[in-house]
Amino acid sequence: MKPILTEHVGKATSGKATNPRWWEEEALHEHAFAVAQRIDKDQSYRRAMNLRYARLYANRDLVGLGVGLYSKASQISQAKGVTLNIIKSCVDAAAAKIASARPRPRFLTSGGDWKLQSKAKKLTKFMDGLFAAQGVYEVGQRSFIDSCVFGTGVMKVFAEDGSVTFERVMPDEILIDESEGFYGAPRQMHQRKYIARDVILAAYGTDEALKHAILAAAPGGPDVAPDKAADLIQVIESWHLKSSPEAKDGKHCISIATATLFSEEWDKERFPFVFLRWSPALVGFFGTGIAEEITGIQIEINKILRNIQQAMYITAFPRVYLDAASAVNTDHLNTFGGIIKYTNKPPTFDTPVAMNSEVYQHLDRLKNYAYEAVGISQLSASSKKPSGLDSGRALRDFQDIESERFIIAGQRYEQFYMDAAELAIDVMRDLYEDDKKIFVNVAGKGFLETIPWKDVNMEKDQYLMRVFPTSILPTLPAGL
């Protein structure tokens, strides 16, 4: 990683208007921080939508998704009724269907000599060991669930402590100008995160000016609960891609409200993020998730369940109709629903029907509509065998038909790991410039094989590399 440019770090606010082209300014924190804040304000509706989908999936009245808010629930949620969480059922079923696979990056050369072919094979093993050591598949599965709930799952690939780190990122942390993201390829991106002040001081507080600026930064932010004791500071990390291969306007900086903590030229062709969308939107950067697709159905199901529950308590209650002039001892009548007295008739026990049968049929129809909209069968959602499918071959054919519904989503999931592998290679090249002893341990047959990066490092212009999504654990009968 390139050194910190400190010539403009921690300078006082100039007072001039914010420049949208923040990468051209000297005091980066004044402009990049302000631009990110403006984008965040313009996209407040997206945070509200994500909160809604999180509430439906978690079945909790969450106050917010920010720091210190995600664990809170409003007072209304203390008395919950019967629920039928179709969104969670569909999301979990889709995750079991798709995210249970572990796509494996495989590197091949086209027209390379034996030495390059050997490096390519070792690079495949190297990536296997890196993915295993960093828990990439576990992070990827969480990102897949994010894509189903929020529409977009995000994983960040960056260098930390001399190695490659894969980190799940909440979609709300990613800030993209909607105008730039219209075609899905923005040129600038920001990430907002809250970090403890002591951690920032330990990383950047060696310079006195920086230390003073970090201590002067106001704690908290719009997504931090005001009653939290943790001393957290809002940090904005910003990237701007080069306008052309020859341009010098690529920029990467980390800033707080009072200082630029880090700044460097950004000469890479992409951001250090891998994005996974359940369904790409027609326009724009962020995708559409399962929760958004069936939110209306879930809300209607909740209303019907609430009405049925109230009707059960109010209407479907056993009662005794007793002649007021009779000499019947009411103490001998075993009922908890109450006694209604009238004249000229014997005692009658009656339990009224709570709701019309059409209500329950409509509830079942809505549940089936939700599964059909997503493409989930009852076999996947509830491990319930459909009626009429009794043979093993019929069940396999049924699963294959259902799997076709998820082919495109599965391909996006595979590409997600391909992109992560490419970013990891870029990070490894940067780390190798500073440390020539980078290696990865790979599990072999009864032993650990150590593969140094220098044995697999190849220049891009020396070979043609293709990456194939080869599953580590085939699940289809033909692959067993």
Count of domains observed in the chain:
2
Structure confidence at residue 374 as a pLDDT band (50, 70, 90):
confident
What's the whole-number mean pLDDT along residues 151-162?
93
Residues of the domain holding 59: 22-292+407-479
418 lies in some domain: yes
Q: Give tens-digit pLDDT for 15-37.
A: 567 888 999 988 898 899 899 98
Same domain, 123 and 52: yes
What's the whole-number mean pLDDT along residues 127-154?
94
Q: Give tens-digit pLDDT for 36-86.
A: 989 988 888 999 999 999 999 988 888 888 776 666 665 455 445 567 899
Looking at the predicted structure, is the pLDDT value of residue 359 above 70? yes
CB 164 within 8 A of CB 304: no
Same domain, 222 and 93: yes
155 lies in some domain: yes
**pLDDT at position 402, please?**
56
Looking at the predicted structure, is the pLDDT value of residue 479 above 50? no
216 lies in some domain: yes
Q: How many angstroms separate the CA atoms of 137 and 321, rounded?
A: 65
Same domain, 229 and 281: yes
Q: How many angstroms separate the CA atoms of 190 and 238, rounded?
A: 4
**pLDDT at position 384, please?**
59
Same domain, 334 and 203: no
**pLDDT at position 448, please?**
81
Residues 6+ apart with CB under 8 A from 106: 124, 467, 468, 470
**pLDDT at position 322, please?**
67
What's the whole-number mean pLDDT along residues 412-427?
92
Tell me which of 423 and 162 has the higher pLDDT. Answer: 423
> How far does Cα 130 stand from its chain's mean position?
22
Same domain, 263 and 324: no
Looking at the predicted structure, is the pLDDT value of residue 464 above 60? no
Same domain, 280 and 324: no
Same domain, 265 and 338: no
Structure confidence at residue 432 as a pLDDT band (50, 70, 90):
confident
52 lies in some domain: yes
CB 277 within 8 A of CB 293: no
**pLDDT at position 11, please?**
44
Same domain, 452 and 333: no
CA-wise closest residue to 37 among 221, 245, 297, 311: 221
Q: How many angstroms separate the CA atoms of 192 and 38, rounded?
A: 12
Same domain, 277 and 330: no
Q: How many angstroms separate the CA atoms of 23 and 263, rounded?
A: 10
CB 240 within 8 A of CB 249: yes
For the ranges 296-310, 356-370, 376-390, the lowest mean pLDDT is seen at: 376-390
Q: Give tens-digit pLDDT for 175-210.
A: 999 889 999 999 999 999 999 999 999 988 888 889
Same domain, 338 and 287: no
Q: Give tens-digit pLDDT for 216-265.
A: 988 877 777 666 657 889 999 999 999 998 899 999 999 999 999 999 99
Q: Give tens-digit pLDDT for 257-297.
A: 999 999 999 999 999 999 999 999 999 999 999 999 999 99
What's the whole-number mean pLDDT along residues 79-101?
83
16 lies in some domain: no
Same domain, 327 and 256: no
Same domain, 339 and 418: no
201 lies in some domain: yes
Alpha helices in 135-285 (DSSP H): 136-150, 197-204, 208-216
Q: How many angstroms separate the CA atoms of 441 and 132, rounded?
A: 10
